[in-house]
Amino acid sequence: MRRLRPLARKLRRWTGRNRPAILLYHRVARIAHDPWALAVPPDLFAEQMEVLSRTRRVVPLTRLAEELERGRARANWIAITFDDGYADLLHEAVPAMQRFDCPATMFVTTGALGGAGFWWDRLSEAVFRPERLAAALALGAGRDRFTWEPAAGADRQQLHMALWRRLRRLRPGDREEELAAIERWAGIAPDRERDRAMTAEEVRGLARSGFFSIGAHSISHAPLPELNRFEKAAEIAGSRRACEEMLGQPVLGFAYPFGDLDPESCEEVRRAGFRFACSTMPEPVRADSPRYALPRLSVGAWSGDELLQRLP
């Protein structure tokens, strides 16, 4: 198999499958309940880094963005990004990235730093972890009331999706109140260590290593198109200020929470002083890719060879 890999690299060059791309990760961990497929197990992640180091040129995202500003999209270049700021990155991802010399950018949700974890992880644990969901669930009141009655063969996927949509649109304080009620109903407590975000000191340490650059990912991970312009500006510019105060250095890149963006959000990112921003549009990078909506390819729990086949 290893003897065939040089031939595979030549074939990729001949067929043009070596276009530049930005890869998107969230977590490097093994977790039991992962409805959004955000986690890549550590052994598979190490395989992926090994393959990238052999077959592509892994460059910092800022370097790729600089080339795009010059109107160039270098063939074979790959930039690696992580969204949110999960702490498992420190222990499960960094060693493999250092071993294979794969730099990366982490986009930080500043309001989550040092907290109990992200609300979507807590929700999935509450819905999927209990052996039985025996009690009825009621949230809110009046026209905003949400109710769910347990039934034989109840579809937890549907319940999870309905609750996710509901919690996503709430302000952080209201979301925390309802999420706590859901956890009490399910009879569980969040695993604060396993699912936690980094602390500010951990982010500073990562940046000092010179191996990671830090970008902003809003304050509260709110869906920006659903906010008014003032709220958008507060989330975007506020996260940049928080990152720069934490690091003592400029922060150049932004990533849109949930990948959700609209023209007003892009304009607020530009006004906040960012040089570029990343979306979740699953495309390779081109010289004319929009600087404030750069495409990214989400990476799943794939083997190294499968990642190689999925690269553009």
Q: Do residues 89 and 105 share a domain?
A: yes
pLDDT value at residue 152: 63
Q: Which domain holds residue 55?
A: 2-115+193-310
Which of 41-45, 97-101, 134-138, 214-218 shows the lowest mean pLDDT across its residues? 134-138
pLDDT (mean) for 19-47: 96
pLDDT value at residue 14: 40
Q: Do residues 106 and 136 share a domain?
A: no
Per-residue pLDDT for 194 more than 90?
no
pLDDT value at residue 153: 60
Q: Do residues 97 and 147 share a domain?
A: no
Rounded percentage of the chain residues whose pLDDT exceeds 70: 94
Select the more confidently predicted residue: 122 or 16: 122
Select the more confidently predicted residue: 4 or 267: 267
pLDDT value at residue 211: 85
Q: Do residues 144 and 24 share a domain?
A: no
Per-residue pLDDT for 4 more than 50?
no
Report the alpha-carbon distance of residue 116 to residue 112 in Å, rounded.
8
Q: What is the CATH number of the domain that holds 281?
A: 3.20.20.370
Tokens of 17: 């499958």
Which of residues 169, 186, 203 is at a domain's end? 186
Which of 73-77, 192-196, 214-218 shows the lowest mean pLDDT across its residues? 192-196
Per-residue pLDDT for 15 more than 50?
no
Q: Do residues 229 and 169 share a domain?
A: no
Q: Do residues 232 and 273 share a domain?
A: yes
pLDDT value at residue 115: 84
pLDDT (mean) for 104-115: 95
pLDDT value at residue 35: 94
Q: Do residues 123 and 215 share a domain?
A: no
Q: Do residues 234 and 264 share a domain?
A: yes
At 16, is the pLDDT very low, low, confident or very high (cuts 50, 70, 90)?
A: very low
Q: Do residues 152 and 52 share a domain?
A: no
Q: What burial class does residue 149 get, using C-beta atoms within 10 Å of its C-beta: 0-12 exposed, 13-18 middle, 19+ buried?
A: exposed
Q: Do residues 264 and 289 share a domain?
A: yes
Report how many domains make up the chain: 2
Q: How far apart are the first and last CA of the chain?
A: 22
Which of 14-23, 37-46, 220-229, 251-260 shows the lowest mean pLDDT across its residues? 14-23
Per-residue pLDDT for 73 more than 60?
yes
pLDDT tens digit string along 258-278? 999 999 999 999 999 999 999
Report the alpha-carbon distance of residue 296 to residue 279 in Å, rounded.
6
Which of residues 156, 186, 216 is at a domain's end? 186
Q: Do residues 43 and 16 share a domain?
A: yes
Three-class HEC string of the chain: CHHHHHHHHHHHHHHCCCCCEEEEECEECCCCCCCCCCEECHHHHHHHHHHHHHHCEECCHHHHHHHHHCCCCCCCEEEEEEEECECHHHHHHHHHHHHCCCCEEEEECHHHCCCCCCHHHHHHHHHHCCCCCCCCEEECCHHHCEEECCCCCCCHHHHHHHHHHHHHCCCHHHHHHHHHHHHHHHCCCCCCCCCCECCHHHHHHHHHCCCEEEEECCCCCCCHHHCCHHHHHHHHHHHHHHHHHHHCCCCCEEECHHHCCCHHHHHHHHHCCCCEEECCCCCCCCCCCCCCCECCEECCCCCHHHHHHHCC
| Model pTM above 0.85 | yes
Q: Quick check: 259 and 279 in contact, CB under 8 A?
A: yes
Per-residue pLDDT for 224 more than 60?
yes
pLDDT tens digit string along 121-161? 999 999 999 988 888 999 998 889 999 988 766 789 999 99
How high is the mean pLDDT of the chain?
Answer: 92
Which of residues 152, 186, 220 is at a domain's end? 186
Per-residue pLDDT for 183 more than 80?
yes
Per-residue pLDDT for 5 more than 60?
no
Q: Do residues 161 and 239 share a domain?
A: no
Amino acid identity, position 146: F
